[in-house]
């Protein structure tokens, strides 16, 4: 929910039509770096020291006499960290805490070669090397003597050292533009810079790459665009209501990770900085001039490369290069650095119903009953700000929600949950005990004069909790205890909104950069971390509430690198239009590539009213994405799925039921993300890394390694074009079981009921069979197993099960992880490489095998310790599928299904 009126939503710029948000031209540090002198840093090679964490060098910029300290640290997981700070700062510079999950294990370096101009260092097997050049200073990362990444190739290293502030009468403080070193003005807002200019920047060249991705959050395509034709990508968390599509302006969250991919290599560059950051992307070569290094080398012979230029307002340069070499290794390396996706409780993967706002308890109960009456499963209903007493969080409106605990118990009887909103602003009300407690405990952000910072948000004048303080996070976490949060029960979960933070009367509708946080740090240093820290405190509150036994669910609008450890995010205040449905797919893919994999977009659009076709298409797309929530603003028409006529209700019911049936597969994918870093939602190139035709595709995607989805995102479409990758692959339409060859673009007729989804040959997918009203019901249902054979007549896949709610999978190994593999007509169910001890009653009721050429003479079931028995089966020659039915095979037991040996398999 954006910073907009409670009754009227306006999308025009405020304040006499002036722009509410900055362009790069408004930002002094960006102008200084882009227009400033070309600095000539030198690496003083004779200052090199080899340490247990790598190598250290001093850097010198002769004109300014700036001395910097460079650290190069190769890590055991095939990553290299480049850290640059002042050699002798007048005070410590901000270093981002709490994002990197632990100090990576560093490799010991050894000198391979040393010349007057450079020193080459290697480690471990010597496959990778780092070469530090004296002048012009640059750092090359090589693989088997070939440069993959160069740091500072164009000499854009920029480091404004901290200074003591000038006196109030100093000319420097009164300085006029364009310097703006100590004071900067945007519209009527004045930003006083306590440390003066402190920006940093550096460029990185990715050799051989012409496709780069990442840098969420932007409403833009999956592949990053060359920024020479306009604005750079901005990373600055802001409350941008009804944001523009195909824009590089910052939105609600920031992940400073670029992922580059080419057929034989995937690598990443992570820029660990939480201040305002701009990123320029230049694809090359584009200049027809001769190669400046070797004028005899023609342009055609120059290999492609991509230059990524990072510019941040403050902090240090902390740059981690992830070396891959493939997509899976890259995802794992990034997860090892910033954390793995939290394993969500199973209910969180179900359908969520939200509106700003359900009016009262009777309204909530009526909507809940409507889902049952129309036989549509759902798990969670949500309450926005109007549920509180005067926008005071941790309270309930005594008239509209007089018995909140009773409401939660009503839902819990049906195994459903309630989510309530909890924002970071606290109503400045001295008569409210929670405000007094926060004020007296020192838990609020202060302004530059040392007084409590106040800004306007939903309650009116508000103070903002300082979540960067560990003490404040601990205090806030305790507020979620059942005895303190009156009216809450264990089935209440939380939504953190407005936590960029949103300040209605602040610069760019956020907190002034010169506000002061814990430790004396200015807000400018940690702006992009603010929502991350509220998310962290809320998660810790829910975990503490359960005594550490139950998994939390917390949705946050604002996020940073590492937010995946905490829960889910969504793409904010979108609009009910086809272009927003279409852009949601690359937005979610960009998030997934950057590690924030539990993500979704508001179904139907937050504002404006979708027509029935758009609503159905949005449900179809969102049911095939990780976080699945319908949400709408208070000025829109009611949008429950049964309000648009039976045809629409039936179409929405069908896709929501299909989502619930597919939950065993989704849950298994989230376990993979939790343990290996693999995102459930994947761009095609992540599964087909050598196929260049997939690199720029962002209107279809893989769900895990088995399913390909191509949601319909155009009005009135009658034929969808679907790229089926892999010339040797076989793809099966999940609805018709019809087989198609890969390496082609398929033209598929579509109706309003059509959702193009294909299962890849060589995979196994498990689904629940039957119907229910929520995830708890579907957990009790038997399973069906779909085996899609590849051209080698083989397939395999996994299933992960646990109790769906607790940490017992982690603490007591209470999980069941099984592998299904088929070869030579025999399907085996066996333990996966790592098996737990979960008392699992799940049974397989049926098995479908796709790609069977001829009808088998018999199908036999063998269960460990029991006599072989024949199984009933049906063979459809038209789609070459075999269905074995009436089974009762426990997932936790070893068993085989043998298709008679004389069968000919595709």
Task: Please list the active-site residues.
Answer: 497, 500, 573
Question: Is 884 within 8 Å of 871 (Cβ atoms)?
Answer: yes
Count of CA atoms in the C-beta half-sphere (13 A) of 471: 12
**336: β partners:** none
Token pair 């407690």 in the structure block, residue: 437
Tokens of 568: 């889910």
Question: Is 875 within 8 Å of 864 (Cβ atoms)?
Answer: no
- Alpha-carbon distance 478 to 262, whole Å? 48
Q: At what angle do helices 646-661 and 663-676 cross, to 10 degrees?
A: 50
Question: Is 628 within 8 Å of 352 (Cβ atoms)?
Answer: yes
Q: In whole angstroms, how far apart are CA 104 and each of 379, 393, 619, 847? A: 39, 39, 42, 45
Omega before residue 217 within 30° of 0, cis: yes
Count of CA atoms in the C-beta half-sphere (13 A) of 804: 18
- Please tell me what DSSP assigns to residue 225: P
Beta carbons within 8 Å of 236's beta carbon, 6+ residues apart: 250, 254, 276, 277, 508, 527, 528
CB atoms within 10 A of CB 745: 9
Residue 574, exposed/middle/buried by CB under 10 A (0-12, 13-18, 19+)?
buried
Beta carbons within 8 Å of 68's beta carbon, 6+ residues apart: 41, 58, 59, 60, 61, 84, 85, 86, 87, 159
Residue 398, exposed/middle/buried by CB under 10 A (0-12, 13-18, 19+)?
exposed
Please report the sign of the dihedral spanned by the C-alpha atoms of residue 639, residue 644, residue 649, residue 650.
negative
Give per-residue burial for 509-526: e unless 16+ CB within 10 Å, then b: bbbbbbbbbbeebbbbbb
CB atoms within 10 A of CB 771: 13
Nearest alpha-carbon partner for 566 in 339, 384, 383 = 339
Question: Is 382 within 8 Å of 495 (Cβ atoms)?
Answer: yes
Nearest alpha-carbon partner for 354 in 388, 327, 383, 376 = 383
Give per-residue burial for 869-889: e unless 16+ CB within 10 Å, then b: eebebeeeeeebbbbbeebeb
In the chain, count H helices and then E strands: 15, 51
SS3 for 119? strand
DSSP 134-148: TTTTEEEEEETTEEE
**69: β partners:** 58, 85
Token pair 């120059």 in the structure block, residue: 302
Beta strand residue intervals within 248-342, DSSP E: 257-262, 265-271, 277-284, 305-312, 317-322
Count of CA atoms in the C-beta half-sphere (13 A) of 866: 14
- Alpha-carbon distance 224 to 283, whole Å? 10
């Amino acid at each position: 929910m954006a910073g907009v009126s409670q009754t009227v939503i306006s999308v025009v710029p405020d304040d006499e039509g002036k722009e509410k948000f900055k362009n790069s031209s408004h930002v002094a540090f960006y102008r200084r770096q882009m227009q400033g002198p070309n600095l000539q840093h030198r690496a003083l090679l004779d200052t090199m020291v080899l340490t247990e964490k790598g190598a250290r060098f001093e850097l010198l910029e002769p004109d300014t006499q700036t001395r910097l300290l460079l650290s190069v640290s190769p890590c055991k997981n095939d990553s290299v960290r480049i850290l640059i700070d002042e050699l002798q700062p007048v005070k410590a510079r901000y270093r981002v805490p709490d994002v990197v999950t632990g100090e990576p294990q560093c490799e010991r370096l050894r000198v391979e070669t040393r010349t007057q101009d450079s020193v080459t260092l290697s480690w471990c097997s010597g496959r990778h090397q780092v070469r530090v050049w004296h002048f012009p200073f640059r750092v090359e990362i090589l693989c088997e003597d070939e440069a993959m990444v160069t740091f500072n190739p164009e000499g854009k290293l920029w480091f404004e050292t901290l200074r003591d502030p000038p006196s109030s009468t100093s000319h420097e403080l009164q300085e006029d533009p364009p310097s703006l070193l100590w004071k900067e003005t945007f519209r009527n807002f004045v930003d006083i810079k306590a440390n003066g200019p402190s920006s940093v920047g550096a460029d990185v060249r990715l050799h051989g790459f012409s496709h780069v991705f990442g840098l969420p959050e932007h409403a833009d395509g999956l592949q990053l665009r060359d920024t020479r034709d306009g604005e750079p990508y901005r990373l600055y968390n802001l409350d941008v209501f009804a944001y523009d599509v195909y824009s590089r302006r910052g939105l609600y969250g920031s992940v400073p990770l670029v992922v580059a991919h080419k057929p034989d290599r995937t690598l990443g560059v992570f820029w660990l900085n939480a201040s305002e950051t701009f990123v320029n992307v230049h694809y090359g070569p584009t200049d027809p001039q001769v190669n400046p290094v070797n004028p005899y080398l023609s342009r055609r012979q120059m290999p492609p490369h991509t230059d990524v230029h990072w510019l941040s307002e403050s902090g240090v340069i902390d740059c981690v290069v992830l070396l891959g070499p493939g997509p899976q290794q890259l995802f794992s390396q990034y997860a090892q650095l910033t954390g793995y996706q939290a394993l969500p409780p199973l209910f969180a993967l179900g359908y969520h119903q939200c509106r700003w706002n359900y009016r009262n308890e009777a309204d909530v109960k009526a909507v809940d009953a409507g889902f049952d009456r129309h036989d549509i499963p759902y798990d969670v209903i949500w309450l926005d700000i109007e549920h509180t007493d005067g926008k005071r969080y941790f309270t309930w409106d005594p008239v509209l929600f007089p018995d909140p605990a009773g409401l939660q118990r009503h839902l819990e009887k049906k195994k459903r949950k309630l989510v309530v909103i909890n924002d970071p602003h606290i109503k400045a009300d001295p008569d409210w005990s929670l405000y007094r407690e926060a004020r007296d405990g020192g838990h609020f952000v202060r302004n530059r004069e040392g007084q409590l910072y106040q800004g306007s948000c939903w309650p009116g004048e508000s103070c903002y909790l300082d979540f960067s303080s560990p003490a404040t996070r601990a205090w806030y976490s305790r507020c979620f205890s059942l005895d303190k949060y009156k009216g809450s029960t264990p089935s209440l979960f939380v939504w953190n909104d407005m936590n960029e933070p949103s300040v209605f009367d602040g610069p760019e509708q956020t907190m002034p950069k010169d506000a002061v946080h814990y430790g004396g740090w200015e807000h400018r240093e940690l702006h992009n971390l603010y929502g991350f820290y509220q998310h962290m405190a809320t998660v810790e509150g829910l975990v503490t509430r359960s005594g550490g036994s139950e998994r939390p669910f917390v949705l946050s609008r604002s996020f940073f690198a590492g937010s995946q450890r905490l829960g889910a995010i969504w793409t904010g205040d979108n609009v009910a239009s086809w272009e927003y449905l279409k852009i949601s797919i690359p937005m979610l893919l960009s998030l997934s590539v950057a590690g924030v994999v539990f993500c979704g977009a508001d179904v139907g659009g937050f504002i404006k009213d979708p027509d029935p076709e758009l609503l159905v298409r949005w449900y179809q797309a969102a049911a095939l994405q990780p976080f699945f929530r319908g949400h709408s603003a208070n000025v829109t028409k009611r949008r429950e799925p049964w309000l648009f006529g039976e045809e629409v209700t039936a179409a929405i019911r069908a896709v929501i039921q299909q989502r619930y049936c597919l939950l065993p597969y989704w849950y298994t994918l989230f376990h993979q993300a939790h343990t290996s870093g693999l995102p459930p939602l994947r761009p095609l190139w992540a599964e087909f890394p050598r196929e260049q035709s997939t690199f720029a595709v962002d209107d279809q995607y893989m769900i895990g390694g088995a399913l390909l989805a191509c949601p319909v995102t155009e009005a009135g479409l009658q034929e969808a074009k679907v790229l089926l990758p892999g010339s040797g692959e076989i793809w099966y339409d999940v609805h018709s079981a019809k087989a198609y060859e890969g390496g082609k673009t398929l033209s598929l007729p579509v109706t309003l009921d059509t959702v193009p989804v294909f299962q890849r040959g060589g995979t196994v997918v498990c689904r629940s069979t039957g119907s229910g009203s929520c995830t708890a019901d579907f957990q009790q249902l038997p399973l069906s197993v779909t085996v899609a054979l590849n051209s080698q007549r083989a397939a395999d896949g996994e299933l992960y099960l646990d109790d769906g709610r607790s940490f017992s999978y982690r603490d007591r190994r209470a999980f069941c992880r099984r592998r299904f593999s088929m070869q030579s007509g025999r399907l085996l169910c066996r333990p996966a490489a790592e098996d737990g001890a979960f008392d699992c009653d799940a049974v397989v009721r049926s098995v479908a095998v796709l790609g069977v050429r001829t009808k088998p003479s018999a199908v036999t079931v063998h269960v460990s310790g029991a006599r072989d028995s024949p199984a009933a089966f049906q063979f459809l020659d038209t789609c070459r599928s075999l269905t074995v039915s009436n089974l009762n095979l426990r997932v936790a037991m070893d068993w085989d299904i043998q298709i008679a040996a004389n069968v000919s398999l595709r």
